[in-house]
Amino acid sequence: MRILVTGGGGFVGSRLVKALLQKNHEVIVLDKTKGELEGFEHPNMKFIIGGVEDENIIKNVINGCDAVFYSAWSFSEKMLDGFKIDVIGFLNVIEACCQYGVKQIIFPSSSVIYGEPVIVPIKEDHPLLVEKSRAPTHALTKLAVEKAMEIYYKERGFPFTIFRFWWAFSDERIPGGTLRKIIDSALKNEVLYVPKGSAGSILYINDLIKAFELALLNKNAFGKIYNILSFNITWKEILEMIIELSGSKSNIIEVDPSEWKGPGFLTGNWILNDEKIRKELSFIPNEKAKEAFKKALKATIESRRGL
């Protein structure tokens, strides 16, 4: 199968590319930089330097593809840039998909689209309160792309599958500036503050790739949106892990959410309901995901020592 991965140099995209190559697919990668694929070569991979905003490049790379994984994202905090790059770029891609007979587009979205948890655990039909999101521009552009997919499916019959998740990690590391700052504070034995009761659903990148494989050209997944997770955890538990793994002497102080002044990423109860993906795609998370998270956290901590 010939597959295009936009944003293939990124955290999710690069790992997806390698997994697809292991399945003997022909993979076209489109990204502005090689990123996490720097130095990686494979006879079945072709890397194109460019962005989804470039309509001519998009037409050239999509022609002949069977499916597209849309993993490109700018994460711009400027709304104008977000729409120019992410939304217009996506429309370039989906138009070309329809023109050249691509069979499906798969989109790793985000729980940020829910805006603010009002019913927990969060199901796929939860209100999309993007204006209340900790990252409203990010949430709004994700919403625009998701809704565009639904309209193209309804009006032009072009299949999509969307996966929404909170926070993903790999065997090598756990990304996130907020986490890095917490680790740095722990290594200095500083007090660690956290909103009381804050929690979320963690996703092992291997589980996301497994879900991608289950959805690929699967008609049961066409036109569907799925929450996906590997396990649930509180932020207090994560801080306790950091102290244990780093040998820190830090203390943890829980703050009432109404008085919290720290990073927005630490707020809220982001526990997702994954009944739908379990039922419709027979998806079962990796039972060793939490153990893998702890190992990745240890690796992330060690990478921060001495900085």
pLDDT digits 0-9 by tens, 73-112: 999 889 999 999 999 999 999 999 999 999 999 999 999 9
Name residues whose C-beta falls within 8 Å of residue 66's C-beta, 6 or more positions apart in sequence: 1, 2, 3, 102, 103, 217
Q: Which of 141, 115, 131 has its CA nearest to residue 267?
A: 115
Tokens 């066409």 correspond to 222
Mean pLDDT of the chain: 97
Both 221 and 95 in one domain: the answer is yes
Residue 155 burial by Cβ neighbours in a 10 Å radius (0-12, 13-18, 19+) = exposed
pTM: 0.96
| CA–CA separation, 160 and 97 (whole Å) | 11
DSSP summary character for residue 34: -
Six token digits for residue 237: 């538990």
The domain that holds 21 is classified in CATH as 3.40.50.720
Does residue 306 surpass a pLDDT of 80?
no
Both 191 and 115 in one domain: the answer is no
Mean pLDDT of 53-79: 95
Both 42 and 100 in one domain: the answer is yes
Q: Does 108 sit behind a cis peptide bond, omega within 30 degrees of 0 on the bond before it?
A: no
What proportion of the chain, given as a percentage, has pLDDT over 90?
Answer: 98
Both 179 and 222 in one domain: the answer is no
| CA–CA separation, 98 and 95 (whole Å) | 5
156 in a domain, yes or no?
Answer: yes
CA angle 58, 60, 63 (to 5 degrees): 100
| Domain coverage including residue 40 | 2-167+203-227
Structural element, H or E, at residue 89: helix 88-100
> Amino acid identity, residue 114?
Y
Q: Which of 38, 52, 54, 75 has its CA nearest to residue 5?
A: 52
Both 65 and 50 in one domain: the answer is yes
Residues in the chain: 307
Does residue 160 surpass a pLDDT of 80?
yes
Does residue 277 surpass a pLDDT of 90?
yes
277 in a domain, yes or no?
Answer: no
pLDDT in tens, 199-221: 999 999 999 999 999 999 999 99
Q: What are phi and psi of 282, to 5 degrees?
A: 55, 40
Does residue 307 surpass a pLDDT of 80?
no
Confidence of residue 157 (pLDDT cuts 50, 70, 90): very high
What proportion of the chain, given as a percentage, has pLDDT over 70?
Answer: 100
